[in-house]
Structures are given as structure tokens and as C-alpha cells.
Amino acid sequence: MRLKGKLVSWNADKAFGFIAPNGGGAQVFIHKSAFSNRKRAPQLNDVITFSVIKDNQNRYCANQATFSGEKLQKKQAKKVNRFSVILSTLFITLLIIAYLLDNLPQKLLLLYLAASIITFVIYASDKSKAQRGAWRTPESTLHLFALIGGWPGAAFAQQLLRHKSKKAEFRNIFWLTVIANIAALAWLMSTHGKEGLSLFS
């Protein structure tokens, strides 16, 4: 069921506000991500048509919102970037094989696995915060976890959760952390890095 109302408050910094339904009743929370047209900045007293759903905290909020005069356009399913997923899977597989062949210390393998899981959870938490309009996780923190070995988890999160997968600047820095991490691992596994690799033994 589609409802109509007026935007009575809007926090531009946190990208959320509240709609007063035309038929009366409690104001409805709306996040910028709920708008089908995200190029237009919401303004007070904008007339908005919307649907109502429940968020992860079982609270009512607006969804599929359109400004007055606009038609609701159905979103096409976003495609998963297979390269990111395949690369991450291949990398983790190669780490496991290297460990089984006694070419990689167990502690280093566990570090990569733990960092990837933690990074995936941080991405999921950050997406939830974005949807709720809560305080976000700094991008520098996401990049740091990717750099220390959590980039496979980050790659999976970006594609499976559809979070941080479009912003070009963020993606560019992310791939730099991937290159830096792989280069550091390659050096550790070379003859020059044996002393450093022994720290994980």
C-alpha cells in the first residue's frame, strides 16, 4: 500500500528525516537510501509517496519513496562482481594449500581468516548503521582491516551485501590495500622475508 505525506524534518548531514502522513498518525522515519531518485536533495515540505516496511530493529520506516510528480521505477537486480569474489576465493584457497604443504605458518593463515571474518562483520554493521542513519564506521578503519589481511572478507561484503561497491574513490583505495597486502605476503614468502615469516611460526 502506497502512502503520501509531507517531509517535516530532514538532517542533511546524517541523510535522514521524518514524514508526516496525510491521513494523520505517527511520523514515519525515512533515510536517503529509501528514495528512488537519490540525485535530488530532499527539502522540507516536499510531498512524498512511499511504502512502509520494518527495519532490522522492527521499527517502521519509509521505503520506495518518490517525490511528487515522479513515478516509482523498479530497481534492477544488482550484479555481483565475479572478479572480486573469485579472486578472494582463489586467494584463500591458495593460502590453505600453502599451509597444507608446510609453506605457510598456521598463525598467518588464521590471521587472514580471522581478519576476513571480522572485516565482513564490520561492513555488515556499517551498512546497518547507514540504513538507520547512525554514526558510521570511518572508511580509514575499513581500509586498515583490508590492509592487514581482511580484504577477502571486504570483497565478499562489498558484493554480497552491496555495500561500498560503487564509490570509485573508496574502491580505488581498497584495491591499493589489496595490492599492498599481496605484495607484503609475497615478500614474506620469498627468500628475503624468511626471517619475518618465522615470526608467525
Q: Yes or no: say if 50 and 17 are a contact pair by the CB < 8 Å rule.
A: no
Whole-structure pTM value: 0.63
Region of residue 79 (phi > 0: left; psi between -120 and 50: alpha; otherwise: beta): beta
Q: What are phi and psi of 135, to 5 degrees?
A: -65, 125
Provide CATH 2.40.50.140 ranges for the chain. 3-67
Structure confidence by residue, pLDDT tens digits, 110-147: 999 999 999 999 999 998 888 777 788 999 999 999 99
Q: Yes or no: say if 42 and 33 are a contact pair by the CB < 8 Å rule.
A: no
Confidence of residue 5 (pLDDT cuts 50, 70, 90): very high
Q: Residue 24: what pLDDT?
A: 86
Average pLDDT across the chain, whole number: 90
pLDDT beyond 90 at 181: yes
Q: Residue 165: what pLDDT?
A: 80
Q: Yes or no: say if 16 and 29 are a contact pair by the CB < 8 Å rule.
A: yes
52 HSE (CA, 13 A, CB side): 15
Per-residue b or e along 115-137, where b marks 16 or more CB atoms closer than 10 Å to that residue's CB: bbeebbebbeebbeebbbbeeeb
What does the alpha-carbon distance between residue 126 and residue 163 come to, in Å, rounded to a whole number? 9
Q: Residue 75: what pLDDT?
A: 55
| CATH number belonging to domain 3-67 | 2.40.50.140
Structure confidence by residue, pLDDT tens digits, 75-113: 555 566 789 999 999 999 999 999 999 999 999 999 999
What does the alpha-carbon distance between residue 165 and residue 199 come to, in Å, rounded to a whole number? 35
Mean pLDDT along residues 14-32:
92
Residue 66: in which H helix or E strand, if any? strand 60-67
122 HSE (CA, 13 A, CB side): 22
pLDDT beyond 90 at 69: no
Bridge partners of 49, per DSSP, are 4, 66
pLDDT beyond 60 at 30: yes
